[in-house]
Amino acid sequence: MSHPITGNRRSVAIYSIVWLIVSVLYGSMLWYFMRFPVAVVTSEALLSTLLFGFLGLLAWYPTRYIPFQKHSPFYSLFAHIVAGLLVLAIWMLLDVGLLEAFFGTQEEYGVFLNKSIVWRGIFGGMVYFLLVLIYYLVANNQKLLERAQQEERLKNLVRDTELNLLKSQINPHFLFNSLNSIASLTMSNPDEARDMIVRLSDFLRYSLKHRENEYVPLKEELRRMKDYLAIEKVRFGEKLQYVFNIQGDCEEFPVPTMIFQPLFENAIRHSVYESVEPVTVRFDCMRENEYMKTIVSNDYDPAVPTKKGTGLGLQNVRQRIELSYHERGSVRWNSDGGVFAVTILFPRIFVKR
């Protein structure tokens, strides 16, 4: 922990100005009440106050190395009294000694100087312990700031850990499904299985390449999703259709990596699997006030029962959006008229951590 005054120029300037003001006030009082010569008043005021101001900087070190929390109050108080007496002794020896050497020949001032030793000591002691109190307040404030920064770093670490956990839950899920699809094609259609392996290899290579990037432009994320849909289309053929509708400047907007993959996977799992008719999966993106709005939707036949899912994919997407955008983004889904849609609102202005 650095010295709160000498640690930055602004504090040094403020501290110096305060002692200069004290020096002017003290000199004015000496001149008004004692009528000493201007040279004496100026020397007395500057030497006494600025010298004590310099020695007052030393009060930080007992405060820094004698915290009350680590020692008994009696020990800390005794240590500060000893340190204060030492600083006062040095100040009075230098102050009185120099003033005596310069102006001791002036009888009236010499008498004043000898009589002022007691109140100089009392005043110096009060100022010293006032500085100690200020230093303690500053030290505690610095500790609170450091603790707050440490807590913020811990929160960010927990947040990053949660995001990585959510990503680790998504990627193996997709990989296992793709491998199962390939296995089902190896005997019935080896050529399509080979094509699917190549596409899967490209997709995973691209995914691993950007795994360390928390955010990527939307156009990169959609290119990745088109690879994924192309892999699934090898399996489902004409049963799976997909349409992308991107408006405005959406393509350059940064989004969390692999955020849409669980949504496309759910759309295929809960509609294409059980359907006998072609199913269209749509992706729409448009600007809506201070948000970028995306909708992943698919049509389905309400009369056909679908596989009951765990909801893990949608919950993962919701948690990732909340963590990535500090609860400013939102995810909602609804089913209406044979269309299931998931809407994500991305805040256009946010702070990445």
Q: Reduce the secondary structure of 202-267 to three states and give it as a string.
A: HHHHHHHHCCCCCEEEHHHHHHHHHHHHHHHHHHHHHHEEEEEEECCCHHHCEEECCCCHHHHHHH
Ramachandran angles phi, psi of 76, nearest 5°: -65, -40
Rounded mean pLDDT for each run of 10 residues along the chain, 353 residues in total: 80 90 90 86 89 85 70 74 86 88 83 86 86 84 82 67 55 70 79 81 70 76 87 83 91 88 87 85 93 93 66 80 84 90 88 49
- Core vs surface per residue 192-230: b (16+ CB within 10 A) or e: bbeebbebbeebeeebeeeeeebbbebebbbebbbbbbb
The two three-digit tokens of residue 308, written as one number: 């009951």
How far lies 244's CA from each of 217, 254, 304, 335, 347, in Å? 16, 18, 26, 20, 21
Give the span between the Cα atoms of 162 and 165, in whole angstroms. Answer: 5
Give the span between the Cα atoms of 93 and 100, in whole angstroms. Answer: 10
Nearest to 178 by CA among 101, 224, 118, 235: 235
- Predicted local confidence at residue 166, as pLDDT: 53
Give the span between the Cα atoms of 296 and 50, in whole angstroms. Answer: 72
Give the span between the Cα atoms of 348 and 61, in whole angstroms. Answer: 49
- Predicted local confidence at residue 212, as pLDDT: 47
Ramachandran angles phi, psi of 236, nearest 5°: -100, -15
User: DSSP of 165-181, one letter per residue?
Assistant: HHHHHHHHHHHHHHHHH
Give the span between the Cα atoms of 211 and 319, in whole angstroms. Answer: 18
- Would the pTM count as exceeding 0.85? no
Ramachandran angles phi, psi of 82, nearest 5°: -65, -45
Give the span between the Cα atoms of 27 and 21, in whole angstroms. Answer: 10
Per DSSP, 58 falls in state G
Q: Report all structural domains of the chain as residue ranges with CATH numbers, in order of start.
A: 9-150 (no CATH), 189-347 (3.30.565.10)
Nearest to 62 by CA among 124, 118, 135: 135
Q: β-pairing, 254-256 with 215-217?
A: antiparallel
Q: Tell me the H-state helices in the chain.
A: 9-29, 38-56, 60-65, 73-103, 107-115, 117-188, 190-209, 218-236, 261-267, 312-324
SS3 102: helix
CB-based burial of residue 58 (10 Å sphere; 0-12 exposed, 13-18 middle, 19+ buried)?
Answer: middle
